[in-house]
Each structure stands twice: as structure tokens, then as C-alpha cells.
Amino acid sequence: MTAKLGLDPAKVIEARELARRAGEPVTRMARTHTTVSIERAVLRLAGLDGADADGMPWVNRLTDAVREAAGLEHGVALPAWDAMLAGGHPDLRALAEQAAAGQVKFRIPDGRDAVAAREAAARSVQAGLAKIDAQRALRARMITDIADPPKPWIYLIVATGDIYEDIPQAQAAAREGADVIAVIRSTGQSLLDYVPEGATREGYAGTYATRENFRLMRAALDDVSRELGRYVRLTNYASGLCMPESAALAGLERLDLMLNDCMYGIIFRDINPVRTFIDQRFSRQVHARAGIVINTGEDNYLTTADAVGAAHTVVVSQLLNEYFAREAGLEDWQLGLGHAFEINPAVPDSFLLELAHAQLVRELFPDAPLKYMPPTKHMTGNVFAGYLLDAFFNLCGFMTGQSILLVGMMTEGIHTPFLADRDLALENVRYVRQAAGRLGESFRPEPDGFVARRARLVLDEAVDLLRRICAGGLLQAIADGTFGVTKRPPAGGRGLDGVIERAGGYFNPAIVALEGGV
């Protein structure tokens, strides 16, 4: 894209280099550790599904049994497939049932037994990855056969709590112009250390993310895609304590985008930082294989911190998310980096500030499908002012070439928006697109004017912050409340007990395949 802000190329290079230096220690930690969710994801890729009579997934039961008997330092694959071969169990489901009943002995095999276990595990996991590959190929064929909507993609939320209510709402939203449907996850699911099973009809402020719910919604959107003649994308969440498993299930059921941020779960859900960084690397490796676009969560920082004073922390987080994503194998077209239109409208020149921030992000990440979030923090309940503010957001998005626009609702500050509110919001988008969709072609801020100077200042502040993070460490920066104000120490939060340091000889057939490109 055409540069408009006069950014110093050397400063941009320095920012990326500093982000790499800040992120590398975390990457080394992720390479030397595993988690219970990563090991459960291996079992899911190998085909283990379902739950016991209490609703606890068999992947949890089997992983827990292996950990108790043999530990997970060598991974779940070696002891699980060794026990399956030695005991003559027909499949992982039978092994899990027997293990839950205390009727299986697990060990770390060696010699020929270890070779046999590795080969059997690799074959099973490869079958799961082959399914992910097939789903990626199917997506590409559907986009070719139907059509791919032009950017910006219009992104709309459904969140009834009942998958069978979500489906008609999602299809209606697509018919009204939505290109991406986000099924909001039930409040608190990120804190569950298991993935619920089956189709669900009860959820608070959202619908449980389960494999069956993924399957049902993807099938419904396939139907409406064919009806409308354009491919409608589906997104959900790969975050919280089951990030790796959610990523695997998303790949198996052909989700197209996943909310996946390197720090969101730490800051806003109090998930342990170490657990989060380890889990997010594996989840992004799966996303890379599945052709899934990640959506990061920098917009959330501005709901707790001042959108002007903390603008540079958004850029720092985006640079870190870019580094972690690329290191895990994601390509630039998969980096749906997030930011938001959250400056207090009472601030003088607020729209110019928003333009500066949005254009800065666009120029820093020219090939990324940026996801732009609408105003929420300053939606007061005045629906007329809210509708106007959303129009300004839409205008800023079109002017600065954002890739994914989450539709703002004028009743955001009052209640969960009604269907009529959504229709009005989509009408707002359509009007701005038709009236000013090409305005960005003529948008040229003065080289030393307010917008360009503000953008360069934010980049300078981001570089200064990255230097400080490199000096003190990323985990310490998070503990100090650098992002989103909230302080999260490395040993705090939920999920640290699910982190395991890898032993020599650790074996994970999924990681071997994902990193080897097999």
C-alpha cells in the first residue's frame, strides 16, 4: 500500500527487531515445556472424542491417567500408544475407558516398544492432520466456486447461548450483509480446563464452544454461502485453558478465523502467563496448518486503559503478536491483528487521533487482514450519539483500509442488541461504504500535519517501550501492568499446575508433523 505517514523505515525495522528480542525468551520457554491441553490436543487430533457419563471428555480422563502413572514429561503419546499396543485395545476410546476405571498400567517405553509406540501415534495424528488439510482444501474450493467477498469483511456477532438459536440468527445476519459470523463463547468457558461435548442449548452471554457446535454452524453457513453466492466465514475462540484443543477442533471443523491473542487470556481472564504462552504457540502452529486467520485482542486494552495514553501499548502488542505468529508458522495473510476506535469523543481532535492510530497500524502491517473494533467504552446509552459514533468508526475504517470491520451497535451501552439494532447497524455500514468507500484513495495527511505527527509519536513511544521490555523481560512487563493496566505475575493465575517441563526424549507427533511440514 502507499505510505502516507512518512514513517522512518529504520524505526520500523528496529521495532520489529526489538519485538523479536522481547519474544525469543518466551519462545524458548514454549519449546522446552508442554501443557495438559497440548497433550489433550494430540489425542483429539488422533481421533479421541466423546465424554464419560459425567460429561468429562475422554481426552481429559486419559491424559490425567497417564500423568498420574507415568508423568507427561515425555508427552502423552509414548505411554498411551504403548499401553494400547501392549493391551490390545482396539482404539483410544477403549483405552481411555479402561484407564478411567484404573485398569491400565502406563510406562515410558524404550527400545523396540518405544519405536512401535512412536510409529503408531504418528500414524493416528497424521490422520487427524489429513482431515485438517482436507478442510483447508475444501474452503479454497468453495471460495473459488462461490465467491470471496471484497474487503473489508463485515463481522457480526451472535450470542444467544443456544446453538439452535444462533444458527438462524447467523444466517439472517449473512443475508443482511455479514461476511464473518462470530459465535461468542459462553462467559467463563475460558476458565474450564476441558472442552464440553455435543450441541449445547444453555450458555451465559454466549454459546459453548464445542466441536459439535462448530460443525452445526459451519454447515449452516455453507448453506447460506451457496444461497448468497459468497463464502461466509465463521469465527470462534482459541483462548483460555483449552487453547490448543480449540485450535485443533477448529481445524477439523473448518472454522475460518479464531480469536487467538498472546496476552488476552493473561490480562483479562487471569490465565497463568507461562501456560498461555506455551499453549498459544502450539495453537498457532495448528492454525497455520489449517489456513485459519487469527484475530488478536489489542482492542481490549483500550477498554481498561486510556485510548490516547495507551495507544503505543497496542502497537507493541501487535508487534509481539506478529513475532509469535510468524515464529509459529503463520503467514502475514493470517494475521488479523486487532485495534479499536475507543477514544473518548469529548477529546479534542478525537477523530483525527483515531485516523492517525488506524493509519499507523495499516502501514506497519500492510499485508495483514486487520480487524478493527467499534466504540464500546464510550457508548453511553444515547442511541443517536452512538449511531453517529459508529458512522465515524465506519468512515475511519474505510479511509484507512481496514480489512475486517466489526459492526458497531448503537445500543451497545444498554443491552444485548436486538435484531432491529443489527439491521440499523448494517444499514450504517452500507451507507458509509456507498458514500465514502473510496475516500481512502484521496486521503493524504499533511507530512507534518497533526495526523502524521501523532502517528510517528506513537511509533516512537512503542519503540521506547519495547526497549524497556527487552531490558526487563516480557513476563515482568506483564506483571507490571504494562498492557491493559492489569498486573499478572508469572506464577499467578489459573493453569500453572498444567505446565510440564519436557524431559529428554519428549515426543509429540503433532509438533513433529507441524514443524516438519509433513
pLDDT-derived band at 300, boundaries 50, 70, 90 = confident
Q: For the domain 2-32+238-373+444-492, what is the CATH code?
A: 3.20.20.440
d(CA 389, CA 410) in angstroms, rounded, equals 8
Residue located via cell numbers 510517528 = 456
Q: What is the pLDDT of residues 357-395, one digit of tens each?
A: 999 999 999 999 999 999 999 998 899 999 999 999 999
Task: Indicate whether 517 pLDDT > 60.
Answer: no
Mean pLDDT of 5-26: 97
Q: What is the identity of the amino acid at 296? A: T
Residue 438 confidence (pLDDT): 95
Mean pLDDT of 176-188: 94
The 3-state DSSP class for residue 185 equals: strand
**pLDDT score of 304:** 81
* Mean pLDDT score, 181-203: 95
Extents of the domains making up the chain = 2-32+238-373+444-492, 34-126, 149-232
Distance CA 373, CA 405 (A): 7
All cell numbers assigned to 515: 514443524
What's the pLDDT tens digit per position in 435-478?
Answer: 999 999 999 999 999 999 999 999 999 999 999 999 999 999 99
Q: What angle do CA 242, 248, 252 make, to 5 degrees?
A: 140
- Which candidate, 311, 294, 299, 199, places its Cα nearest to that of 256? 294
Closest CA to 375 of 388, 364, 365, 356: 388
> pLDDT exceeding 90 applies to what percent of the chain?
92
Give residue 228's pLDDT: 98
- Across the range 78-85, mean pLDDT stands at 98
pLDDT in tens, 202-261: 998 899 999 999 999 999 999 999 999 999 999 999 999 999 999 999 999 999 999 999
Is the sign of the CA dihedral 159, 161, 163, 166 positive or negative? negative
pLDDT of residue 518: 41
* The predicted structure's pLDDT at residue 182: 96
E strands, 218-292, in order: 233-237, 257-259
Q: Do residues 272 and 496 touch, judged by C-beta distance below 8 A?
A: yes
Of all residues in the chain, the percent with pLDDT exceeding 70 is: 99
**Residue 154, amino acid:** I
pLDDT digits (tens, 9 = 90+) for 338-363: 999 999 999 999 999 999 999 999 99
Distance (Å, whole) CA 37 – CA 138: 28
Q: Which residue has the cell 461476511?
A: 179
Q: What is the set of active-site residues? A: 264, 299, 371
pLDDT at res. 484: 82
